[in-house]
A = this chain, B = another copy of it.
Amino acid sequence: MGRPSNKSERRAEIVQAMMQVMAVRGYEGASIQAIAKQAGLAPGLIHYHFKTKQDILLGSVTQLSNVLKGRYLSLSENAETSEDKLKAFITARLSKGEGASQQAVVAWVMIGSEAVRQPEVKAAYLEALREQKALLEDLLQDYFDTFLKKGKLNKKELNSKVAFVMAFMEGAFSLSITAQEIMPNSWAADELLSKLKI
């Protein structure tokens, strides 16, 4: 029967290693050799588990997306009001509790950059963004339910709020990487929420 497969763990290790290297050297700097070294594996093994380097990057999109989903679910578990859920969503993305977060943030920004020239990366990146946007839309719809029903807020205005939050979060990521010196250390969900108020 041979030894038991460990494909999925190895793949996760490799994706993890790439993100670690990318956090310091960027995507181009994250050579297969460097990733292998970081993961404690032989270079040849990387391509046994991933067809191309791009595939590892795509794997990291998936993993990052899953982590965010997981964090939101865990944070919203006890949320009851629509506001709590919205806060859970924002906190899941903006808080930098864990040490791994920094790497994740850099990786996310790098993915955004690579999306410029790698169509497949762009597709995966967009897909992840769409998912987040869909969730945010639902949450905001609930949050502004009353206003919507009263006609004090129309669909277009809601969309604008959605886009607004998305952009802010993306920018907070970008700046937190290289411009932390001139940015506040942390953003409170409350603060962002207050800007959305009507």
The answer to whether A167 touches B178 (Cβ under 8 A) is no
Query: What sequence of 0s and 1s flags, for each residue 94-135 of chain A, a beta carbon within 8 Å of any chain B beta carbon?
Result: 000000000000100110111111000010011001100100
A159 to B184, CA, bound (A): 8
The answer to whether A164 touches B160 (Cβ under 8 A) is no
Residue A29 at the B interface, CB < 8 A?
yes
Looking at A20-28, A49-57, A62-70, A76-84, the stretch in contact with chain B turns out to be: A20-28
The answer, among B24, B167, B172, B178, for a CB contact under 8 Å with A115, is B178
For residue A74, give the distance in angstroms from its CB to the closest CB of chain B: 25
Report how many copies the assembly holds: 4
**With A24-B116, A109-B113, A163-B183 in contact, is A42–B2 under 8 Å at CB?**
yes
Which A residues are within 8 Å of any B CB, using their own CB? Answer: 2, 23-29, 42, 106, 109-110, 112-117, 122, 125-126, 129-130, 133, 159-160, 163-164, 166-175, 177-179, 181-184, 191, 195-196
Can you spell out 7 A-B residue pairs with CB atoms less than 8 angstroms apart?
A26-B113, A28-B28, A112-B178, A129-B175, A167-B168, A171-B172, A195-B196
